[in-house]
Amino acid sequence: MTALDMIREDLRTLLHDKGAQTGEINADTPLLNGPYDIDSLDLATLVVTLEEKTGLTPFANGFVLFHTAGELAALFGG
């Protein structure tokens, strides 16, 4: 499973759990201010989950800017 697959799966679960609309998520899908109701706490939860699944900690030395699902996936190995 690629990092983008994990992001798709985790975001769908996260949006479903909060009763928000879900739909297609591709590499170009913006995360904040995008088509889905994703806020900074959701993103933090997503990052924590990705860190656990991949064993990678791309933010350990400071925040790295990302906007889309693809950019976040790239930080976790693509």
* Three-state DSSP class for residue 42: helix
Question: According to the binding rule CB under 8 A, does residue 37 interact with other proteins?
Answer: no
Stretch that binds other proteins, among 14-22, 29-37, 57-65, 70-78 (CB under 8 A): 14-22
Complex with other proteins: residue 17 or 28, whichever CB lies closer: 17
Q: Check: CB of residue 68 under 8 Å from CB of residue 28.
A: yes
Per CB under 8 A, which region of 1-9, 12-20, 27-35, 62-70 contacts other proteins?
12-20
Nearest approach in angstroms of CB 46 to other proteins is 10
14 binds other proteins (CB under 8 A): yes
- Does the protein bind other proteins through residue 32 (CB under 8 A)? no
